[in-house]
Amino acid sequence: MTTMPDFGPLEERLGHAFRDRSLLLQALTHRSYLNENTSYEYPHNERLEFLGDAVLELVVTESLYKNYANDEGELTNWRAAMVNAKTLSGIAKELNFEEYLLLSKGEAKDKDTKARMYILANAIEAIIGAIYLDGGMPAAEKFVGSFILSILPRILEEELYVDAKSKFQETAQELLGVTPTYKVLEEKGPDHAKEFTIGVFLDKELIAVGRGTSKQEAQVAAADAGIEAKGWRTHKAKGK
């Protein structure tokens, strides 16, 4: 029989004391763990993730609808920025629950990768699903409000909801009459783990540099850094 971990410290960070701790254990169980532990009696977290994803989207959508008079397109972009894998994995790291994740030996070693980012993001959604089942919508709303809706001001200030390449190009063309170009400055690493360093230029001037595991990702990072370097961030939130 599986021994239940001491979830007390984690529950304190989550802000929810589970009546049924098996739900939390399930939320932290990755599919890969079951492949190596066939006698494990709990299911993996994908069904809870499915539920939590829907709860998260509803809570965020309702909050945006009630609190902002912006149009549907803007609210959709804000929501996407709050619930994407990069944002959720960052919240997971702040909550520091990686030590509780049940992963295969291979997945446990594979840290700081895109795969780990998605595992952490999915675990956040599974935890939301578990909290919803254990404490109902009020408990889920409390968690989402504390850890996800609370980052909206930063998303608006830093324009994390904006497609950086489109924003940089549109602003450069409007203000300077110039279309940005991108150039690979460095490419390193084996084929399965490449890292690209790309510069964004206005005419021949290097404005900023970005890095990523694909050229597209590095270009987006460079454009975002270029927006910051040129001071081209703007946002308008219409409160109700």
Q: Catalytic annotation on 6?
A: no
| CA distances to 131, 175, 226, 235 from 232, in Å | 40, 10, 8, 10
Q: List Cβ<8 Å contacts ≥24 apart for 171-174.
A: 171/227, 171/230, 171/232, 172/202
| Beta pairing partners, 181 | 201
Set 107, 125, 134, 159: catalytic member:
125
Q: Catalytic annotation on 125?
A: yes
Nearest-5° angle of CA 156, CA 158, CA 164? Answer: 105
Amino acid at residue number 142 = K
Contact 198, 184 (CB under 8 A): yes
Q: How many CB atoms lie within 10 A of CB 182?
A: 18
Set 20, 41, 46, 53: catalytic member:
53
User: Which residues are marked as active site?
Assistant: 53, 125
